[in-house]
Structure 1
């Protein structure tokens, strides 16, 4: 590596690390504020919060890398241009593209590392993040009783104290007990003082009450005339109530397998498997739509069938063959395991005899010989035991089979009528149809069938649309692993030439321009993904939409930086306007 490459790369790495930490911290703060009310105030240990923050830092890193590359590359070349180092490099015969090469190689390696992180590291971190975040949400708030305020954190109890003395002391205590599932304040406890302190490794909480009274009233049954309900009043000098905090205030960790279906925790190979499964479900729904439509229109499908399209039938046959092959493999595995288990239990050892008696298996332990041919011969069923033989009558009359044969022969010999119906026959048929309301029944049946078919199609269509939306979301999650990595290179193409053009370092103009471009990038990303989710555009185009929009700007800035264009100086636009005016005047002169 040449000294120039070391100089440029060394001036880039420092701002890159600094901006990456700052951007990651900003995005972390935004994410933490989103869940602030749900994760804080639960009395968790420092290490639980540190674990959650660590997961958040890794999961938001793919979004922080493009902004860090944009800002750091802009600051690097802005500093080089501000101190005339970039001018010295160009004057020595080194082009701008050659000066961009060391940082470009680093950004390409960084993009590849970002792809590997998105595909392998981030899904595992997202799995742990979802699991821990859900457990924190489900945990009850910490046991913290405030004076003058009812505390309802303990299930089934509502506690109020007028004054707290020290760490555990309480004074003027009021407790409503709803532990039995009763609504209303029917079980009330009053006490002058008390103590609330944990014990047994803080798994239980003991509430000691002194000099109080307890009132309890049974619930009255409404609508039934009966005697007044029982009311009891008890006085006590000391009373103890123990609360189990294991299930209420302890953080119970959920198994990570419960989140195995979320697309955010899958890598590309697992997403492809999910896409294939969703595609199978969609194809099955479309196939059964045709099958169910035949039952709604029996007259239409009497001599013709509603056949699905060839692509649906082809996918259906492939899915059925895959299912049957999977079932055969599972059955063969279960049979082999059952056979091995049976042989180990019933026949500890055996000897197979070769030669003419090869059909005989001898079990030496029990001295039992079994002839295979004899077993096969004994398993045959005689014709007299057939279940399909028709019973004969005892009086030698014709059997049922003979009667059916004679009827079929008579029908075969009968000649179909080819003559047209007479007027009398038509009038009889019409009178029968009108008198028995056949026309009204046919219309009613047709309307009912149409409504039933429409409702079925609406339900199936909704199911197919939901599955297709999930299919598109899986595709978006797949393509995002590439687009977020490619965004680093796109931001480098924008930031480095812009720094060479504006020739301003520090945290002033570079930060402002970086924020503007990042906001535009974020808005374009959200817009493209929304279009892809709704099916307006292809998911591949929707996820690459932001990169496709910003890439021309990067190429334009590279072209202008090679020409030392002064895009951010007023003289550039004044000269451009004067040039347009001169061209317009020349065109007018040529026309005259």
Structure 2
């Protein structure tokens, strides 16, 4: 039995590693395709790019690992079924559950590791990825000259080149606006040709211009003088050094994103959610107190002069508001109604404004609950997908990357759509977080149970001839005869 378990484990570990790296590669390429514009032309060192890809790869594990387990389990049991190894094992009296037992133990271990990975590694990887991506977005691009277009990537310069010889690097018909004095387009240089050479330390650029003119507007001492003298300098060769932007990536402080729900573990999520929930409840209490004191029960000013109606009713224990209102003059009645309407409108505006603010804060708090449940859905998804893939591979009995890939992708897309829909409903407060985050697993779990039962009983689920025979047995003529009789 130990040799059999060793054989099954070796048959599973190879496809698992292979499919996991394939899934990671596909997801990583998808991510790079999405953010390729942010990475190209920034002059980033290869170490920065490697670090960024490493952190991104860590954040893609929750999507790659369940899919890899599903695909590897289908391939493993499909290969054993195609090579009649499953048939030989069952003929020897070994049930499918005993064949799956070593892999079940392995998947449980992988699920436990996935839980600790999601709880301790994923928050750090998400923090590193977000911080580094923002730093890369803020990085200024390198100087790239394009023909016929003004380029403003050079500090305090705007340059236009009509034609660039890619072999020699010579530029033709150059127009340069120098804005270093901060007075606008007061220094213009026109040249027939020229070259730009970056220094080895990439801090300066040697600019050499040939056969051109330099037009400069001379600043006068008098501020009232609107007309300024200008001078023209003609040259055959002109050389100058222009300072370049620093190409080193400026790293920001990672603590600015550390309070985000994606960067927290279970303990931190619970603590943050409790503190935010307490602040939300205090805000609701302040809203109610403010409405009661400022809009619903208006207190009379102490400096208000006593009128005859008020002094007349002071001896009464209770005041009849209706009789008090009717005893006032028409002008005072209209004033009271107008004031009451004004207070009511202000109260409605306050409630409407606060309602939107409180709803946004409540949605933000629910994201912490969603992330808390996500820590457990990843390892549970690995466990479920194994119990879908293993019996499915035993039923279809096809190995390789053909049929298993198609079936795995279809199942994963189905699971992913349900998962994203449930998470969206949870974020919009349509469903509780516990229901929204677990609905995909609860839907897929019965499917795994049914497939395991069908594979154990050697049921031909995917045999089309069985379904054709079933529909042939249905005779519509007999049905209508019984109905008419």
- Name the SS of the counterpart of 1:507 in structure 2: coil
CA contact (8 A) 1:528 1:546 kept: yes
> Any idea what SS the aligned residue of 1:175 has?
strand
- Cα contact 1:81–1:500 (8 A) shared by 2: yes
Any conservation in 1 of the 2:79–2:400 contact (CA below 8 Å)?
yes
For 1:140-192, what per-residue CA distance to the aligned partner results, in whole angstroms no more than 9, with x for missing partners? 22223245443221243221233347676544421123455666x54321134
Conserved 8 A contact 1:196-1:207: yes
Q: Say which SS state the counterpart of residue 506 (structure 1) adopts.
A: coil
Deviation at 1:516, TM superposition (A): 0.5
* TM-aligned CA deviation for residue 298 of structure 1: 5.8
Q: After TM superposition, give the deviation of residue 449 of structure 1 in Å.
A: 0.6
- Post-superposition offset of 1:238: 2.7
CA contact (8 A) 1:82 1:503 kept: yes
How big is the shift at 1:575?
A: 4.2
Distance 2:64 2:289 in 1: 51
**Aligned equivalents of 1:227, 1:102: Cα separation in 2:** 90
Q: Give 1:286's match in structure 2, choosing from 278, 284, 287.
A: 284
Q: Does 2:436 align with 1:549?
A: no
The change in CA–CA distance for 1:20 and 1:539 in structure 2 (over 3 A counts) is: same
Contact 1:525–1:546 (8 Å) recurs in 2: yes
Deviations 1:505-555 (A, max 9, x none): 111111111111011011111101001000110111111111111111111
Contact 1:498 1:561 (8 Å CA) reproduced: yes
What residue number does 2:233 align with?
234
**2:397 aligned residue:** 503
1:270 maps to what in 2? Answer: 268
* Correspondent of 2:407 among 495, 513, 520: 513
The aligned runs of 1:164-175 (5 Å cut-off) are 164=165, 169-175=170-176
Partner of 1:251: 249
Deviation at 1:194, TM superposition (A): 3.7
Retained in 2: the 8 A contact 1:285–1:460?
A: no
Q: 1:147 touches 1:164 (CA, 8 Å); kept in 2?
A: no
Distance 2:132 2:406 in 1: 36
CA separation in 2, counterparts of 1:130 and 1:416?
68
Partner of 1:176: 177
Paired with 1:232 and 1:208, the residues of 2 have a C-alpha distance of 21
Matching of residues 116-127 of structure 1 within 5 Å: 116-127=116-127
The residue aligned with 1:363 is none
TM-score, normalised on structure 2? 0.87
User: Secondary structure of the residue that 1:544 maps to in structure 2?
Assistant: helix
Larger Rg: 1
* Structure 2: distance between partners of 1:107 and 1:561: 19
Q: Which residue of 2 aligns with 1:51?
A: 51
Q: How far is 1:492 from its partner? A: 0.6
Report the counterpart of residue 363 of structure 2 in structure 1: 469
Question: Is the alpha carbon distance of 1:192 and 1:530 closer, same or farther for their aligned partners in structure 2, counting shifts above 3 Å?
Answer: same
* Separation of aligned partners in 1, 2:334 and 2:94: 92
Instruction: Sort the Cα spacing of 1:192 and 1:525 in 2 relative to 1 into closer, same or farther, 3 A.
Output: same
* C-alpha distance 565-218 of structure 1, shift in aligned 2 (>3 A): farther
Contact 2:215 2:232 in 1 (8 A): yes
For 2:329, what is the secondary structure of its paired residue? helix
Contact 1:524 1:545 in 2 (8 A): yes
CA distance 1:451–1:179, shift in 2 (3 Å): farther
- Structure-1-length-normalised TM-score: 0.72
How many residues get paired? 462
**Which residue is 2:329 aligned to?**
433
Gaps of 5+ in 2: 301-312, 318-322
